[in-house]
Amino acid sequence: MTFFLAAIGVLGVASSGPLIAATLGATTVSALAIAFWRNAIGAVVMASPTLVREPRQFGRITQGEFRWCLLAGVALALHFACFITSLQLTSVAAATALVCLQSAWIAVFQLFRGTRHRWQVLAGLGIAFGGVVAITGFDMGSSPQALLGDLLALAGGVLAGLYTLAGGKARQSMTTGTYTALCYGMCAAAVAVMAVLGGQPLAGFEAAGWLGILAITVCAQLVGHTAFNHLLATMSPLLVSMIILLEIPGAAILAAVFLQETLPAGTYAGLALILAGLAVVVTGQRPGRAGRRGKVPGQEPPSDRPLAELGTD
């Protein structure tokens, strides 16, 4: 059962990029509409159990918790705007790999805040960002549009790191259901504002467009992240984090099979470097003593980590 759930989780999160690219390419759905509906639906799904079990929970939110949730929600909204738009400009494989640099950016943020990382983390950062240079270099030679898509995906990874750090602050005192419902709701509201300002419609799509939005929400937002959240109750955060990295080759394979996406050989080398670098960063960030306690410094026990900390796509 554990292997099955892990496979379902990887398939769910890896399908995000290909599903978004297919929906944007074959329907009139806008990028911000996808971001809005997956978060709005996610907020309702996450809020429902909390409202049933503890209807007063949302009334106990402090000003500090609200501010951290707001920061996380806005960062998540900007993340989705960058990542989903990047899928219209560059390859699914490149966009997914670049946005998955979230854990590397978190390590960089921690460095600026005075955290002393082990040498493995620094080495992993170097390897991962070497992959970034490889991918963007090849896309620079292919088209300015692809390079812009790479830069947007890279920005999406930075914003995802900021979202995770802000969420970690909020989650020090908030339950999973309360935090995710509030954060997803704020994200949806922020996306709606961006859609109005940018003139992107949030409704009025054909049946195929709504089907694509539903598939993205169910596969990536609910099934994929829910499976990993369940695994955290029985597996170490380190192992789950390593499994989640399979999203990078998974998205590349799905895009190649279903979207007939082909990439230059150098781009695949960049993907491999990013995957290897992130693996080193993930292992280097978890001291053995903390791992034996089942707790990562600055985070909660594995069984109570929010879905939001598992990824965003």
**How do residues 197-239 score in pLDDT, each as one tens digit?**
999 999 999 999 999 999 999 998 889 887 887 787 778 777 8
Residue 289 has pLDDT above 70, yes or no: no
Average pLDDT on 16-21 reads 96
The per-residue pLDDT for 288 is 45
pLDDT at 98: 95
* CA neighbor of 36 nearest in space, from 76, 87, 96: 76
Task: Calculate what percentage of the chain has a pLDDT beyond 90.
Answer: 61
Instruction: Give the model's pLDDT for residue 287.
Output: 55
Q: What is the pLDDT of residue 237?
A: 72
- In terms of Cβ atoms closer than 10 Å to its own Cβ (0-12, 13-18, 19+), residue 109 is middle
The pLDDT of residue 235: 81
Average pLDDT over residues 296-301: 38
In order of 9, 37, 171, 222, the CA distances from 49 in angstroms are 22, 19, 18, 14
pLDDT value of residue 56: 75
On whether the pTM is more than 0.75, the answer is yes
What's the whole-number mean pLDDT along residues 94-122? 91
The chain-wide mean pLDDT, for the chain, equals 87
184 pLDDT tier (thresholds 50, 70, 90): very high
| Angle between helical axes of 247-258 and 16-26 (0-180°, round to 10) | 40
One-letter amino acid at 229 equals: N
Decide: 211 and 73 in contact? Cβ < 8 Å. no
CB 288 within 8 A of CB 162: no
**In the chain, where are the structural domains located?**
2-310
Residue 27 falls in which region: left (phi positive, over 0), alpha (psi -120 to 50) or beta: beta
C-beta of residue 196 within 8 angstroms of C-beta of residue 274: no
237 versus 42: the higher-pLDDT residue is 42
Question: How is 66-85 classified by DSSP, letter by letter?
Answer: HHHHHHHHHHHHHHHHHHHH
Contact criterion met (CB below 8 Å) for 131 and 271: yes
Alpha-carbon span 90 to 11, nearest angstrom = 21
Name the band, by pLDDT with cuts 50, 70 and 90, for residue 60: confident
Distances (CA, A) of 208 to 29, 49, 205, 231: 9, 30, 8, 33
Tens digit of each residue's pLDDT (9 = 90 or more) over 237-272: 778 888 989 999 999 999 999 999 988 888 899 999
Reported as a pLDDT band with limits 50, 70 and 90, residue 2 is: confident
Query: What's the pLDDT at 310?
Result: 55
Section 113-118 average pLDDT: 88
